[in-house]
A and B are shown apart, each in its own frame.
Chain A
Amino acid sequence: GNSVTQMEGPVTLSEEAFLTINCTYTATGYPSLFWYVQYPGEGLQLLLKATKADDKGSNKGFEATYRKETTSFHLEKGSVQVSDSAVYFCALSDFGTGRRALTFGSGTRLQVQP
């Protein structure tokens, strides 16, 4: 079956530090990959996506590259801000196999200190 594994948090960084949140996946087909962000007290928002191998998704300074050879989709940002403090979820969709649901990772909490 499909699964998504994220690094455990919380990840604590100082402002302007470089961010990497690791995400690896297992899928039987050719999935699309997503990152969602959940700010405190809010629902999730789609942050970025990549639909095929070697695609790079980007938004709000965040980037992630679909690496089929390592089955990974790590989230990166060159300089984090306090406002980036949130929980980040990696997810995959594998609709080619007939499944209609996204598979989510368990989430990684990021705390950015001033």
Chain B
Amino acid sequence: DADVTQTPRNRITKTGKRIMLECSQTKGHDRMYWYRQDPGLGLRLIYYSFDVKDINKGEISDGYSVSRQAQAKFSLSLESAIPNQTALYFCATSDLEGAVPTFFGQGTRLTVV
């Protein structure tokens, strides 16, 4: 089993719909992150959490929200999906100081039509 598991792996949704992407990890790490990847732009940080009671906005948090349900679970929600949120989304964990992710999930490919 993967250390960082994302569900679903692929999703097509309509504009205006609410959608949740889920992430669970077996690494035992306190730090978890959500990134999005767009062609030619690298990865950009959406939200991060250093423990269950700590949630922080990243570079591009507008239109997104997160929930840290447990040390092992960190979900990302799009409250009202729009087409420019079509991207590849990655969850990540870290055992390093600072905010440096070390292990990423396989990604969720989200298409908003």
Residues on A facing B (Cβ under 8 Å)? 4, 32, 34, 41-46, 49, 89, 91, 93, 95, 100-107
Is A43 touching B41 in the complex (CB atoms < 8 A)? Answer: no
Which A residue sits closest to B98, measured CB to CB? A95
Is B48 touching A100 in the complex (CB atoms < 8 A)? Answer: yes
Q: Considering the chains assembled together, what is the distance between the CA atoms of A102 and B98 in angstroms?
A: 10
Interface presence of B92 (CB below 8 A): yes
For residue B46, give the distance in angstroms from its CB to the closest CB of chain A. Answer: 10
Q: Considering the chains assembled together, what is the distance between the CA atoms of A91 and B104 in angstroms?
A: 15
Which of A43, A89, A93 is in CB contact (< 8 Å) with B4?
A43
What are 17 contact pairs spanning A and B, CB under 8 A?
A41-B106, A43-B90, A43-B92, A43-B103, A43-B106, A44-B104, A45-B103, A46-B103, A89-B42, A93-B99, A100-B56, A101-B44, A101-B58, A102-B45, A102-B99, A103-B42, A106-B41
> Could you tell me which residues of chain B, from 44 to 100, have a CB within 8 Å of some CB in chain A?
44-45, 48, 56, 58-59, 90, 92, 98-100
Residues on B facing A (Cβ under 8 Å)? 4, 40-45, 48, 56, 58-59, 90, 92, 98-107
Which of B40, B43, B103, B105 is in CB contact (< 8 Å) with A89?
B43
Which of A4, A42, A46, A49 is in CB contact (< 8 Å) with B106?
A42
Chain B residues whose CB sits within 8 angstroms of the CB of A103 once the complex forms: 42
Q: Considering the chains assembled together, what is the distance between the CA atoms of A45 and B102 in angstroms?
A: 6
Is B42 touching A100 in the complex (CB atoms < 8 A)? Answer: no
Is A105 touching B45 in the complex (CB atoms < 8 A)? Answer: no
Q: Considering the chains assembled together, what is the distance between the CA atoms of A106 and B90 in angstroms?
A: 15
Which B residue sits closest to A41, measured CB to CB? B106
Q: Considering the chains assembled together, what is the distance between the CA atoms of A89 and B107 in angstroms?
A: 16
Chain A residues whose CB sits within 8 angstroms of the CB of B42 once the complex forms: 4, 89, 91, 103-107
